[in-house]
């Protein structure tokens, strides 16, 4: 299976790609197979050319492994599974794994409360830079 090159994008995909702001949020929705992951990968590649660190997080482990093995993936693009990313993100600031309600169910309310009382140094470590969420 090959990853579609930019030249293979259809008109709608190219429009979404072109309209995506370099700095800012954009929500792309659509049913399975419409190219959301392809757009996410091409966006990451474009941003990486500006020497930006880009992280793409995915909920699906198989998809994250597949896209993480994309040929010629720049070193400043990291593709990871959502749970792995959250653990690393939280651990960088607080030195431990994030709280869970149960196994594999992150307790976002506890995380939010922890962030509210975080120090300036911890808040700086929580800045995730340019983040692309696929299958959020």
Predicted structure pTM score:
0.80
The model's pLDDT over 116-126, given as tens digits with 9 standing for 90+, comes to 999 999 999 99
CB 67 within 8 A of CB 37: yes
Q: What DSSP state is assigned to residue 76?
A: T
Q: Over 80: is that where the pLDDT of 96 sits?
A: yes
7: CB partners within 8 A, 6+ apart: none
- Closest C-alpha among 35, 1, 3 to residue 16: 35
Hey, how many other C-beta atoms are within 10 angstroms of the C-beta on 42? 21
98 Rama sector, left if φ>0, alpha if ψ -120 to 50, beta otherwise: beta
**Which of the four pLDDT bands, split at 50, 70 and 90, describes residue 25?**
confident
Report the pLDDT value the prediction gives residue 27, as an integer from 0 to 100: 86
**Which of the four pLDDT bands, split at 50, 70 and 90, describes residue 136?**
low
**Which of the four pLDDT bands, split at 50, 70 and 90, describes residue 1?**
low
**Which of the four pLDDT bands, split at 50, 70 and 90, describes residue 60?**
confident
CB 89 within 8 A of CB 12: no
């Amino acid at each position: 299976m090959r990853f579609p090159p930019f030249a293979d994008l259809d008109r709608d995909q190219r429009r979404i790609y072109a309209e995506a702001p370099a700095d800012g949020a954009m929500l792309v929705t659509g049913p399975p197979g419409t190219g959301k992951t392809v757009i996410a990968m091409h966006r990451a590649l474009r941003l990486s050319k500006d020497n930006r660190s880009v992280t793409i997080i995915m909920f699906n482990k198989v998809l994250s492994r597949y896209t993480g093995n994309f040929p010629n993936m720049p070193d400043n693009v990291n593709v990871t599974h959502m749970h792995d990313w959250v653990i690393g993100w939280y651990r960088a600031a607080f030195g431990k794994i994030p709280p869970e309600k149960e196994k594999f169910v992150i307790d976002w309310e506890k995380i939010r409360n922890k962030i509210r009382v975080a120090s300036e140094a911890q808040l700086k470590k929580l800045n995730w830079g340019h983040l692309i969420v696929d299958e959020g």
